[in-house]
Amino acid sequence: MENNRKLAEILSRIDGRGFKAYKDIKGRYGFKAFKLFIDHVQGDPYSNPSRIRVRVERGRTGFGPELTSNHSRTIAFCDFLTRTFYRNCRRFAKQERGIGKSGLVTMDRPQQEILERTAMVVTREYVEARFFMGLPAFGRKISARNAKAMFFEEVPKIVDHSLFLSRLDLKSILRHIEVSEDADALRGQLDSLGLVAFVADGSLLPRASGIDPRPLKRGNIVPFTSPESFRVKVSLPNRGEVEGLGIPKGVTLILGGGYHGKSTLLNALELGVYNHVPGDGRELAVSSAGAVKIRAADGRNIEKTDISPFINNLPFGKDTKAFSTANASGSTSQAAAISEAVEAGAATLLLDEDTCATNFMVRDVLMQQLVAKENEPITPFVDRVQQLHREQGISTVLVMGGSGDYFAVADQVIQMTNYEPSDVSEQARTIVETHDTGRRNEGRGELGGIRLRIPVKKSFSAFTREGRQRIKNQGDRAIVFGSTLIDLWDLEQIVHISQTRAMGRAILHAMQYMDGKRTLEQVMNLVERDLDEKGLDILMPFVVGDLARFRPLELAAAINRMRTLKVRQFA
């Protein structure tokens, strides 16, 4: 490893030369408090910034073993350091030192969720931060003076204020870790408690806006309070006993007038599969790891998915046990989303009528009288939702404001009024008993199992027509895989662009397990095993700092949306 004086010498030598001369600084350099790794040097001031790492010996940081005593605490501690490092990049780096991205110093920026990331790595031996630097240039000529200021002034300040306990507040670190550890512990208790979700009393669920996931800070903010009949007490390792609303397994209906908080509650549940930072308001709004948001997605691709429990007897004899289309309707896309989620191992379905296909959800008595069942291929979800629970063990939480037909199939009914929940289960049952609508249940026969599918490896290619490997994200919810664009716009539980980026690489990793015998779920489980054992770094041939952990449920959903996908059904 070179001394940092060598870096200064190289920068002096290449000063004023063309930008590509920066390639000479690639390597490892020893600084007084840390080691510097310049892993990749950008080829142009306007291209993606250079990949940089700094590594500090764990013993010098002051971070004790209690901060990483288990996997949950390690992820939360890394998340805290990542947020701190990102803030200090903005605090100490000048950011603008020439053309293009010159002067940029930044790190993969976390949002409200605490995710496992490659941006920060903490082991028993060291703490390593992985970040990005835009090397400075004017007119595509190297500016050594500015580069030296970045490497020898700004980076040491960022490291000093981010990776040493003496510069940080231990109480804040511990709070960050303990809040996340409690959420993991709570999620682990849900199944034994017979619950699919839990929302602690005092939670603040509303968000700043539809595009801002931070908590609402102004206006009428109503702390969450559970109805007595739904109140559950849990014991957490750090916070102790906590009370809140426990949503039991089965079919739960959330209803209420418009703008009274029912979709806000469901949104908290769909993102409750992740841990949240202290102060988010949703720290203890927790859902089971197998909770999946389902919605209609007109136009998506479907490949040999068994949607027969919901749609059959299509005109011209089109097969719905192995249904394929390149342009799904709202109803077929929603049926496929449910079947694919069940196939991938989902335990709870989350639905909001606002994003569902109306004809898939219900057929009222008037429509039944006019259109005979033999002329209607769709068996509405209202007639299958209880069978999903009884036969498959799959619970459903459904937001509904427009159809009382669901009263008859709900195990429990929660009404939201001014963001306050109340138990109206008995009232709903009374209405059903005293108001016979005459509607007929159209869910004839048993639901039956969903046919499993085996992905065909030959239908996957990470190469373009020119023979170049290309795997990248396109925005937050799209993946370019070879020559194929995988549109993930309807997967609402993807919360960060780095998850999308990692899923693109995970599809390539998954291909090694596609042997023509393993089902899609088995392939996903093997990818998950590898990530658990070896971490996200196995997805890339070189070190990067901008990958984040995703769920196998979203990875399976991404594969299901590939327009090149071919499968054969498991016999």
Least reliable range by pLDDT among 189-203, 273-287, 317-331, 511-525 = 317-331
Contact of 19 with 44, CB cutoff 8 Å: yes
Distance between CA atoms of residues 83 and 78, nearest Å: 9
Distance between CA atoms of residues 309 and 306, nearest Å: 8
Top-confidence residue, 317 or 526: 526
CA proximity to 22, closest of 129, 125, 141: 141
Q: Each residue of 220-242: pLDDT tens digit?
A: 889 999 999 999 999 999 999 99
412 Cβ contact partners less than 8 Å away, ≥ 6 residues apart: 230, 247, 248, 250, 251, 252, 253, 423, 425
CA proximity to 45, closest of 20, 14, 10: 20
pTM: 0.95
Q: Which pLDDT value is given to residue 229?
A: 97
Average of per-residue pLDDT across 310-331: 90
Q: Which pLDDT value is given to residue 571?
A: 63
List the structure tokens of 519.
Answer: 């089902």
Flag whether pLDDT at 392 surpasses 90: yes
Contact of 564 with 460, CB cutoff 8 Å: yes
Q: Which pLDDT value is given to residue 275?
A: 98
Q: Residue 2: which pLDDT band, with cuts at 50, 70 and 90?
A: confident
Q: What angle do CA 247, 251, 256 make, to 5 degrees?
A: 75
Q: Each residue of 430-481: pLDDT tens digit?
A: 999 999 888 888 887 778 778 899 999 999 999 999 999 999 999 999 999 9
Average of per-residue pLDDT across 103-128: 97
Contact of 181 with 112, CB cutoff 8 Å: no
Distance between CA atoms of residues 462 and 484, nearest Å: 8
Least reliable range by pLDDT among 98-102, 345-349, 438-442, 538-542 = 438-442
Average of per-residue pLDDT across 473-494: 96
Q: Which pLDDT value is given to residue 499?
A: 98
97 DSSP 8-state letter: S
Share of the chain above pLDDT 90, in %: 89
Flag whether pLDDT at 547 surpasses 80: yes
The residues spanned by each domain of the chain are: 2-168, 291-434, 453-569
- Which residues is 527 bridged to in the sheet? none
Average of per-residue pLDDT across 376-389: 94
Average of per-residue pLDDT across 14-41: 97
Flag whether pLDDT at 37 surpasses 80: yes
Q: Which pLDDT value is given to residue 221?
A: 87
220 Cβ contact partners less than 8 Å away, ≥ 6 residues apart: none
Average pLDDT, the chain: 95
φ/ψ (deg, to 5) at 292: -130, 130
Flag whether pLDDT at 378 surpasses 70: yes
Average of per-residue pLDDT across 291-305: 97
φ/ψ (deg, to 5) at 68: -135, 40
- Which residues is 285 bridged to in the sheet? 199
Q: Each residue of 250-288: pLDDT tens digit?
A: 999 999 998 899 999 999 999 999 999 999 999 999 999
Q: Cβ–Cβ contacts within 10 Å for residue 467, how many?
A: 6
Q: Each residue of 134-158: pLDDT tens digit?
A: 999 999 999 999 999 999 999 999 9
Secondary structure of 62-124 as H, E, C letters? CCCHHHHCCHHHHHHHHHHHHHHHHHHHHHHCCCCCCCCCCCCEECCCCCCEECCECCEEECC
Flag whether pLDDT at 185 surpasses 80: yes
Q: Which pLDDT value is given to residue 314?
A: 83
Least reliable range by pLDDT among 16-30, 424-438, 483-497 = 424-438
Q: Which pLDDT value is given to residue 153?
A: 97
